[in-house]
Amino acid sequence: MDFKFGEKEEKLRKEIREFTKKELPPGWLSSMLEEESDDKEWAFAMSMSKKLAEKGWLTMSWPEEYGGKGASLWEQLVYSEEASYWGIPGVTMGIGGVDWVGPSLMMFGTAEQKNKYLPLIASGEPDGIWCTAYSEPNAGSDFAKIRTRAVREGDEYVINGQKIWTSAAHRARWCWLAVKTDPDAAKPHNGISVFVVDMKSKGITVRPLMNYVGLHIFNEVFFDDLRVPAANLVGKENNGWYQLMHSLGYERGSIAGRCYGYNKRILDELIVYTRGNGLFREREIRHKLADIAVELETQKVLGYETVWKMSKGDSPVYEPSRDKVFNDHILERLAMLGTEILGGYSQIDPLSRNCKWTKLNGHMEKLFWLFLGFAFAAGTDEVELNIVGQFGLKLPKSY
């Protein structure tokens, strides 16, 4: 048993802290996964992606030949923790660029695909930005039932259909697209394929979907006779489900640290804020802060456990779902406590950052209005609990 990080990780931690001090504006508080909504913030995020790429951190887990550093899982964890604590924007290269597109291409892509797309992601340039299109109006949690269809015609596939909740589609250069290639497969999972799609292609329409606070994060994406070269198929035809499940493991390692770092920062901000205005002296408030502090410490060590299992070569099955559910609970509590602490000020529109009455950069309001969206993204709580029950507790499949 050993709960200590190694020298390498501690050194990296220090370097990242120095980096944030130099590169982020004073008093910077991250804008939390909404960078794609605002042109100015997007530009800042892209400038940071570039700097992270120059440091070799952006894709540190990747092998050197693809622009990475071959960093260990523990180094990645430290990087994720620190980056999200300090709110460094631009770490993901859109939705999935760093976390699953790159790793999937390394596992299943052709040499040509690897040589073309991986350096683009690793460069931190706008041409390395991805969106990920899985969900459809009739296939959310039940993802295998997607209907967007790709039909082979000579050296091309012709794609027709619609995706929804596609975050960052309006910023992305490429789309990581899941489609049906065999609608008659005995099991719907066996008829899915993954394609790389150039977002500049003819036949793609991106329609903004505003969320209820007015942020433009996700979109509907329509495909009308979109023609994609057959060379853009990733891996084997009809093998997409397996490939996606496999690549999820990569994403999971970084998520634990990212969630913990972000939550820890929010808690720290709330502690400082309530100490400043005297609310901390109220037993009810300080006890709620104490309770959340316990949950965060628990989240931290659970995330470490997931990474530890991965570092031993195990492929975690239920742990990422467990960590996701746990994080959703924490976000909800933080959002509720954060706005309770702000009281009347929590009514201020989080988008009016220049309002003189805005507290904590509008961060608590933003968290409150966005936490439900995070709870749906990448699997609802209910779906994640199904996975925990089925694979963690070996209970019968419940859905």
Partner 1 sequence: MDFDFSEDQVMIIDSARKFLEKECPKNKIRELKEDEKGYDPELWSRMAEMGWMGLILPEEYEGTGMDFFDLTILMEEMGRNILPAPFFDTVALCSLPILEYGTSEQKKRFLPKIACGEEIWTLALTEPSASYEPSGVELRATSLQEDYVLEGTKLFVPYANVADRLLVVARTSQEGITALIVDAGSQGIKTEVIPTTAHDKQCEVVFDKVRVPKDNVLGEVGKGWEIVEFLLQRVSVLKCAEMLGGAQFVLEMANSYAKERVQFDKPIGSFQAIQHKLAEVFINVEGLRRLVYEAAWNISTGSPSRLLTSMVKAKANEVYQQTCIQGVKVHGAIGFTEELDLSLYFLRTKASEFMLGDTGFHRERIAVELEDYQPLFMSV
Applying CB under 8 A, which residues contact partner 1? Answer: 1-6, 17, 20-21, 74, 85-86, 264-265, 268-269, 271-272, 275, 280, 283, 286-287, 289-291, 293-294, 297-299, 301-302, 304-305, 307-308, 311, 322, 325-326, 382, 385-386, 388-390, 392-399
CB of 46 to partner 1, least distance (A): 24
**Closest Cα partner for 165 from 199, 197, 232, 210?**
210
Q: Which residue has the tokens 């099955």?
A: 317
- Give least dist CB 53 to partner 1, A: 23
Rank residues 53 and 388 by Cβ distance to partner 1 and give the closer one. 388
Tokens of 172: 């992305």
Question: Which residue, 210 or 301, is less far from partner 1 as judged by CB?
Answer: 301
Comparison of 11 and 17: residue with beta carbon closer to partner 1: 17
- Least Å distance, CB 41 to partner 1, is 20
* Residue 163 vs 366, nearer CB to partner 1: 366
Task: Indicate if the alpha-carbon torsion angle 88, 93, 95, 100 is positive or negative.
Answer: negative
b/e for 323-343, b at 16 or more Cβ within 10 A? bbbbbbebbbbbbebbbbbbe
CA dist 395 and 391 (Å) reads 7
Please say which residue, 159 or 256, places its beta carbon nearer to partner 1.
256
For the purposes of burial, counting CB atoms within 10 Å of the CB of 79, is it exposed (0-12), middle (13-18) or buried (19 or more)?
A: buried
Least Å from the CB of residue 338 to partner 1: 15
User: Shortest Cβ distance from residue 395 to partner 1 (Å)?
Assistant: 4
DSSP one-letter string for 257-319: HHHHHHHHHHHHHHHHHHHHHSGGGSHHHHHHHHHHHHHHHHHHHHHHHHHHHHHTT---SSH
Give the position of tokens 């980056």.
83
DSSP SS3 for 397: coil
Q: List b or e across 265-297, with b for residues whose CB sees 16 or more CB atoms inside 10 angstroms.
A: bbbebbbebbeeeebbeeeebeebbeebeebbe
| Residue number, 13 or 147, with CB nearest to partner 1 | 13
Q: Toward partner 1, which CB reaches closer, 151 or 301?
A: 301
Output the smallest distance, CB 222 to partner 1, in A: 34
- Our CB check for partner 1 shows the closer of 354 and 398 to be 398
Tokens, residue 120: 């683009």
Least distance (Å) between residue 134 CB and partner 1: 23
Cβ of residue 141: shortest distance to partner 1, in angstroms? 12
* Backbone angles phi and psi of 167, in degrees to 5: -70, 145
Write out the two tokens for 266: 């929010």
Cα 194 to Cα 68: distance, rounded to the nearest angstrom: 24
The residue among 170 and 366 lying less far from partner 1, judged by its C-beta, is 366
Q: Which residue has the tokens 């605002």?
A: 38
CB of 236 to partner 1, least distance (A): 33
